[in-house]
Amino acid sequence: MAKLYFKFGAMGCSKTAQALITKFNYEERNMKVLLLKPAVDTRDGASVVKSRIGLMQDALAVGEKEDLFRLYAEKHADCQVVIVDECQFLTPAQVDQLADIVIQKNIPVLCFGLSTDFTTHLFPGSKRLFEIAESISEIKSVCTCGAKATVNARLDDSGRIVTEGSQVLLGGNDRYVAMCRKCWLRMRAEQEKEGGAHA
């Protein structure tokens, strides 16, 4: 039986690399894979999925109004697997559409992404995946202190933690760092003593 998978982790945990390796593994077994990414993620190009270690693949970028079930059924029904990178940017309705692909077409759908934003709140797409995915697994990453990283800390141009702003702000190592909650709270407290966390 096919499943809806959610593989999540903090920034820098190799989510995208894992997605591309998974795609390669299916293709090595002569299975056709539909690789999707939300159109809002334009860091490496409109239709490119690229990992920090340099793995790269073309992908189909989907807007937030795109019906993913219809897209699959009408244009990509020959694909035997669906893989989604940066799935946190999907809408809850799109997550439900992916679940419909699993249930109605018996096709596995593997979603890779962040669970929470820079304020430690769930992204809407990730929240829905936690609610309905049949398989949920964490891809772990490490804070500089050695503890498990769980917070995607957003940094300003001076390297200070940002605690307010839009949920979506694209960036890589220049803008985000994965931290454990203890270090994140400590740095926030230190900034507040020095004159306030930046918005």
- Over residues 57-69, the mean pLDDT reads 94
Average pLDDT, the chain: 88
**Cα dist from 30 to 34, 79, 81, 84, 194, whole Å:** 13, 11, 11, 19, 58
Set out the domains of the chain in order of their start, with CATH numbers.
4-138 (3.40.50.300), 151-194 (no CATH)
Higher pLDDT: 106 or 195? It is 106
Q: Lowest-confidence range among 20-34, 128-142, 163-177? A: 163-177
Residue 79 has what DSSP assignment?
A: -
Active-site residue list: 86
Cα 22 to Cα 107: distance, rounded to the nearest angstrom: 15
In the numeric block, which tokens belong to residue 182? 């203890």
User: CA triplet 98, 101, 107: central angle to 5 degrees?
Assistant: 115
Residue 192: φ, ψ to 5° = -65, -40
> What is the per-residue pLDDT across 2-57, written as a single tens digit (0 to 9) for each?
999 999 998 888 899 999 999 999 999 999 999 999 998 877 777 888 887 778 78
115 has a pLDDT exceeding 50: yes
Which pLDDT belongs to residue 52? 77
In the numeric block, which tokens belong to residue 7? 């593989």
> What is the per-residue pLDDT across 141-157, written as a single tens digit (0 to 9) for each?
899 899 999 998 888 77
